[in-house]
Structure 1
């Protein structure tokens, strides 16, 4: 009986090992590409670290990367890996955004969607400790189409308000049924998108911050009304809004 149990256990062990080996082999066969490679001190010890952005294409010849990760071979001999969301053509910038005298790693990953959106990340590896500094939340806004082919928008964080004259889009809006004889058919908000762009900028002195832009659309994605612009400074462990404005793009 003991012999039979031993044989059963042994068979089960080798079957499990085979399954695990097969799964590992499947993962290892995924084609990984290096999108960017940089030598920069991101730990603050004065020595260059190797920073890679790598990805796994969705398929042979595909530009979309279904898996993206940041890989850092630090000067202490350790390797750090940070998983990111999939997308197209990721890129990195190295700026001291949290003002601790060590360069941080800012990553943008375009999603490729019609809204022109991207994923954004900010990490520090100071003293060989990985920390996610996060990025600012997009601005919030209250908005509404109004009678007479007009629209209104108010930035929640600042209280700034803007009025848009959209009379040049009358034919389009009438065709869509948004308006009838200049009257709004039903309450309809504008579409305030998340950050389309977010990038490091130099502020006064030697400090760096982030500048963001959010698209404000009307009846559909191509119906762009304005851009919501903002600038941010990292202070005491959080992002502080410095400026915000809605830049009207004018008539189409």
Structure 2
């Protein structure tokens, strides 16, 4: 009996080791991908650094990257890493957005959600000091439906409101039960999204800032009512709102 117990113990031990080995092998099969490579001076010393965009797919053949990071290798072989959230199609744009004479790294990563949103990051490596400059927060928008097939949108940042005529949607809104003979059945807020787009643009002469685009919708996500553009300029260590524009979207041209 003792021998049988010993043999059983040995068998279990080697089976356990096999499971651990297989699990370890699976963990080590994560494929690190180099997605892009650029050569730019991002420190301001006149010498060019090599910037790699790296990622690890969620699984084999997947376009979703569960891990993404930017690796910057300086001529002296020093390296710097910027980790960002997972997503799709990470991209780095090089613009001097804080106006110190050195190109910054503006990073965008698509989330892949139904709203067509992305995450954005902004870093500088001037004088070999990696600093997160952050990006401007989306505008604070509030909106709601009104009687007679109308809606109102307010930009809290500037204290300004806009009213929209939605009579071209009356038939659909009645069918959905949102209205009854033009009267709103119950208080209903508009759907406000974060940045669908944030990108560097020239704001003051040749100086760059950022332009953001936010979408607002009505009865459901695809019921796009319009867009709010915001233009930002980095000054005195923070983002300042320069301009806002509200554009109503005709339902027939809905995106």
TM-score, length-scaled by structure 1: 0.88
8 Å Cα contact 2:108/2:118 also seen in 1: yes
Q: Distance in 2 between matches of 1:84 and 1:77?
A: 22
Match of 1:168? 168
Residues in 2 aligned to 1:137 and 1:203: alpha-carbon distance in whole angstroms: 18
Shift of 1:144: 1.1
Q: Is structure 2 residue 185 aligned with structure 1 residue 185?
A: yes
Alpha-carbon separation, structure 1, partners of 2:138 and 2:228: 9
Conservation of the 8 A alpha-carbon contact between 1:166 and 1:251? no
Q: Could you tell me the TM-score, scaled by structure 2's length?
A: 0.87
Matches within 5 A, 1:114-193: 114-193=114-193
Q: Which residue of 1 aligns with 2:50?
A: 50
Q: CA deviation at 1:119?
A: 0.4
Matched residues in 1 for 2:195 and 2:38: separation? 26
Q: Secondary structure at the match of 2:88?
A: coil
Q: Considering only aligned residues, what root-mean-square deviation do their CA atoms show, in Å?
A: 1.7
After superposition, the Cα gap between the structure-2 partners of 1:107 and 1:187, relative to the gap in structure 1 and judged at 3 Å, is same
1:222-237 matched pairs, under 5 angstroms: 222-237=222-237
List per-residue Cα deviations over 1:127-150 (Å, max 9, x = no partner). 111110000000012211000111
Match of 1:75 in 2: 75
Q: Which runs of 5+ in 2 are unaligned?
A: 1-19
- What is the alpha-carbon distance in structure 1 between the residues aligned to residue 24 and residue 126 of structure 2? 33
Q: Unaligned 5+ residue runs, structure 1?
A: 1-19
Structure 1 segments of 4+ aligned residues over 4 angstroms from their partners:
20-28
Q: Deviations over 1:63-107 (max 9, x none)?
A: 111111111101232111111101111111000000110000001
